[in-house]
Amino acid sequence: METKGNIEYLALPKTAFFCSREAPASVVLKCYNWATMMRDSEECVISGFHSQLEKDVFHFLLKGKHPVILVLGRAIYKQMPEEFTKPLSENRLLIISPVSQTIGRHSEQTIEKRNKYIMEIAEKIVFGSLNPQGKLYPIYCEAKGKGKQVEVLSECEVNKRWNLNG
């Protein structure tokens, strides 16, 4: 595992954020509101920030001063993206790569490994939206099975659409 940034964040309680690439429009505002609430809190948020909505949440979070952990499904950047420079220099961002440092691009396998790693080290897991046929659903089931605190921001909508009442 390679890291860049504030390694002390690993000792903090962490809230993971996941959201499908195909999140319904009705979930977007809920995710933005959640990100704003988290930005104004002291809670550490961890995610891959890979889907578009996850990236949007990341931008909200970087406007705050609280801890953020970005977990990559690829090697650590050789050339750090400009948007990471300030949060890294202010010691409020940790970037982690739990995969081989020879992997230059995300793949289905490395994304699965990244998501599982995030789920394992987070105390609480928040899903912006969840589809039982989606790739995040096994993470949801495993987290529930391990007794993790799990929240789905679109829960009412999801329960109605896919009958997830348990």
CATH of the domain at 23: 3.40.50.450
Once rounded to an integer, what is the mean pLDDT over residues 142-157?
86
- pLDDT tens column, 15-50: 999 998 888 888 999 999 999 999 988 899 999 999
Q: Do the domain assignments include residue 152?
A: no
Give the pLDDT score at 77: 84
Q: Name the band, by pLDDT with cuts 50, 70 and 90, for residue 158.
A: very low
- What's the CA gap between 64 and 155, in Å, rounded? 27
State how many domains the chain has.
1
Give the DSSP letter string of 93-143: EEEEE-S-TT--S--HHHHHHHHHHHHHH-SEEEES---TTSTTHHHHHHH
- pTM reported for the whole predicted model: 0.88
Q: Do the domain assignments include residue 159?
A: no
Q: Do the domain assignments include residue 153?
A: no
- pLDDT tens column, 87-144: 999 999 999 999 877 777 777 888 899 999 999 999 999 999 888 888 999 999 999 9
Q: Name the band, by pLDDT with cuts 50, 70 and 90, for residue 155.
A: low
Give the pLDDT score at 166: 44
Of residues 64 and 68, the one with the higher pLDDT is: 68
HSE value, Cβ hemisphere, 13 Å, CA-based, for 116: 10
Once rounded to an integer, what is the mean pLDDT over residues 71-77?
88
Domain that holds residue 131: 2-6+14-101+117-147
Q: Do the domain assignments include residue 108?
A: no
- What's the CA gap between 156 and 114, in Å, rounded? 28
Q: Do the domain assignments include residue 166?
A: no
Contacts of 95 (CB under 8 A, 6+ apart): 3, 4, 5, 69, 70, 71, 72, 76, 77, 84, 88
